[in-house]
Amino acid sequence: IWWLIEPRQSTEVIKYSGTMSHPTYRPDLLGRTMETFAHFIYLESNKHVVMADLQGIPSLLGNGDDGIILFDPMTHTVESNSGVSDHGNAGINKFTADHHCRTLC
């Protein structure tokens, strides 16, 4: 349903990764944190799951702090069974080819 609402969003969507691309979009702390989060999920799942298409909008969090609300994430899994856009091993291999550990990894 989000794809119906997204064009009406009043705030710019910040992309951290795409479905089959994991470049360094943002060199700031938040961008590096998203890259590290994707790497953490990959390692903690024994290299069976990769987070992809990470994107969000700036928002005020419940505690009053500024933050980012992530929406519409997807995964690539070894079993290729997490949804229509799950590219299985091809998606996982693309992540490992694109990702380069930096200061937070």
Per the domain annotation, does 84 fall within a domain?
yes
Per the domain annotation, does 70 fall within a domain?
yes
Q: Which range of residues forms the domain containing residue 38?
A: 22-98
pTM of the model: 0.81
Per the domain annotation, does 16 fall within a domain?
no
**What does the block give as tokens for 31?**
């961008």
State how many domains the chain has. Answer: 1
Name which of 12, 81, 13 is nearest 53 in CA terms. 13
Per the domain annotation, does 103 fall within a domain?
no
Per the domain annotation, does 65 fall within a domain?
yes
pLDDT of residue 11: 73
Average pLDDT of the chain to the nearest whole number: 88
**CATH code of residue 70:** 3.20.200.10
Per the domain annotation, does 36 fall within a domain?
yes
pLDDT of residue 75: 97
Euclidean distance between CA atoms 105 and 85, whole angstroms: 26
List of the chain residues with pLDDT < 50:
1
Per the domain annotation, does 7 fall within a domain?
no
Per the domain annotation, does 31 fall within a domain?
yes
Count CB atoms within 10 A of the CB of residue 41: 16
pLDDT of residue 3: 53
